[in-house]
């Protein structure tokens, strides 16, 4: 009889075992993780993929990884520079070598000033929480109410963590490919440059047919497209569709397969088509914001109205040349 291993639990994420020694940590809505992460036992070394938005959640990830693999992490890989994927770095910095791409590290550096300013004067966060609570009381659209609840919980977690937040930047950067060899498996770290940001990287475990793809994947949820290159993003998704991989761990949303990659690609195209039609008809950005996404993307709006609005505004700017 097969023994099922009892997985550690956290209020911030759910762990899923994808292979012996390979785990995905999928963020729980309303928790402090806000993005997904991974734990990989390479054999002799433990690797963490992304460290969440908040040290509160990263502390639980570290404890879970140590319980699952019997040692602290030697490597932390950061998928890209958006802060919801690396603000937990400080929790791992004593033992781990933190790795990302050359360009992502450069993009992380300016956050020092942003965080220091916020620590000196957190009124921006305090006001955002108060304003969103007021809006929630007035709002009747359930999709917008869900988005507001997500924003309030997120800001409150950020505010709680702010006094003890210390930014830790990557120790090692790479371009192209980097192979990390353990006694149990090889993990391949790959970057193809532009996509969701100016530089994204992902982790492939070829023998397990598993890939951690960071924010190149937002499954069953609105992707964040404000800093993206849509063509490069779609090209990367097309490339992944050719891989011999069965399970894709996205940066946001549940675990997925190649079907989810195809939907992700379609969303990017649909959003651009929707905005382009409004521009062709002489419409303003406000007209574009009133457009409805076709199924199944309309269902992704619940809790994601602010990302939809940000995507429409940035696509309008990009496609109208304004």
Interface residues with Zn ion (CB under 5 A) are 82, 215
CB under 8 Å to 3, separation ≥6 — which residues?
A: none
Distance, CA of 246 to CA of 260 (rounded, Å): 11
Q: Between residues 215 and 272, which has the closer beta carbon with respect to Zn ion?
A: 215
Q: Between residues 53 and 215, which has the closer beta carbon with respect to Zn ion?
A: 215
Closest distance to Zn ion from the beta carbon of 195 (Å): 10
Q: Between residues 53 and 208, which has the closer beta carbon with respect to Zn ion?
A: 53
Q: Between residues 82 and 168, which has the closer beta carbon with respect to Zn ion?
A: 82
Closest distance to Zn ion from the beta carbon of 263 (Å): 18
Helix, coil or strand: residue 201 = strand
Q: Between residues 197 and 247, which has the closer beta carbon with respect to Zn ion?
A: 197
CB under 8 Å to 305, separation ≥6 — which residues?
A: 141, 143, 144, 146, 147
Closest distance to Zn ion from the beta carbon of 82 (Å): 3
DSSP letters spanning 108-139: HTTHHHHHHHHHH-THHHHHHHHHHHHHHHH-
Closest distance to Zn ion from the beta carbon of 70 (Å): 31
For residue 83, give the nearest of 148, 152, 121, 35 by alpha carbon: 35
Closest distance to Zn ion from the beta carbon of 223 (Å): 9
Closest distance to Zn ion from the beta carbon of 224 (Å): 6
Distance, CA of 72 to CA of 208 (rounded, Å): 22
Radius of gyration of the chain (CA): 20
Closest distance to Zn ion from the beta carbon of 251 (Å): 6
Closest distance to Zn ion from the beta carbon of 316 (Å): 20
Q: What is the DSSP letter of 21?
A: T
For residue 241, give the nearest of 220, 266, 222 by alpha carbon: 266
Would you state the structure tokens that stand for residue 31, as one six-digit string? Answer: 């928790």
Q: Between residues 62 and 82, which has the closer beta carbon with respect to Zn ion?
A: 82
Q: What is the DSSP letter of 256?
A: B
Burial code of 279-315, b = ≥16 C-beta within 10 A, e = fewer? beeebebebbeeeebeeebeebbbbbbbbbbebbbbb
Q: Between residues 158 and 208, which has the closer beta carbon with respect to Zn ion?
A: 158
Q: Between residues 60 and 215, which has the closer beta carbon with respect to Zn ion?
A: 215
């Amino acid at each position: 009889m097969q023994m099922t291993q009892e997985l550690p639990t956290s209020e911030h994420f759910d762990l899923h075992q994808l292979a012996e020694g390979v785990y995905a940590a999928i963020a729980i809505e309303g928790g402090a993780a806000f993005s997904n992460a991974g734990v990989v036992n390479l054999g002799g070394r433990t690797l963490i993929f992304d460290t969440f938005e908040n040290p509160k959640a990263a502390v639980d990830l570290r404890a879970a990884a140590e319980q699952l693999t019997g040692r602290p992490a030697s490597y932390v890989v950061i998928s890209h520079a958006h802060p919801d994927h690396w603000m937990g770095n400080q929790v791992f910095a004593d033992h781990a070598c933190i790795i990302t791409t050359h360009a992502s590290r450069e993009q992380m550096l300016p956050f020092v000033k942003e965080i220091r300013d916020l620590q000196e004067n957190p009124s921006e966060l305090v006001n955002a929480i108060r304003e969103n609570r007021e809006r929630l009381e007035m709002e009747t659209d359930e999709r917008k109410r869900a988005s507001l609840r997500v924003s309030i919980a997120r800001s409150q977690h950020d505010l709680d963590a702010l006094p003890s937040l210390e930014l830790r930047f990557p120790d090692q950067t790479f371009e192209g490919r980097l192979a990390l060899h353990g006694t149990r498996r090889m993990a391949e770290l790959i970057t193809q440059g532009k996509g969701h940001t100016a530089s994204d990287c992902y982790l492939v475990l070829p023998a397990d047919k598993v890939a951690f793809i960071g924010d190149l994947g937002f499954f069953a949820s609105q992707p964040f497209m404000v800093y993206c290159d849509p063509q490069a993003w779609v090209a990367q998704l097309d490339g992944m569709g050719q891989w011999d991989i069965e399970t894709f761990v996205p940066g946001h949303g549940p675990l997925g397969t190649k079907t989810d990659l195809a939907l992700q690609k379609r969303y990017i195209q649909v959003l651009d088509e929707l905005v382009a039609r409004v521009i062709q008809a002489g419409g303003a950005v406000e007209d574009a914001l009133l457009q409805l996404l076709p199924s199944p993307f309309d269902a992704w709006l619940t809790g994601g109205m602010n990302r939809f609005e940000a995507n429409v505004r940035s696509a309008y700017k990009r496609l109208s040349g304004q």
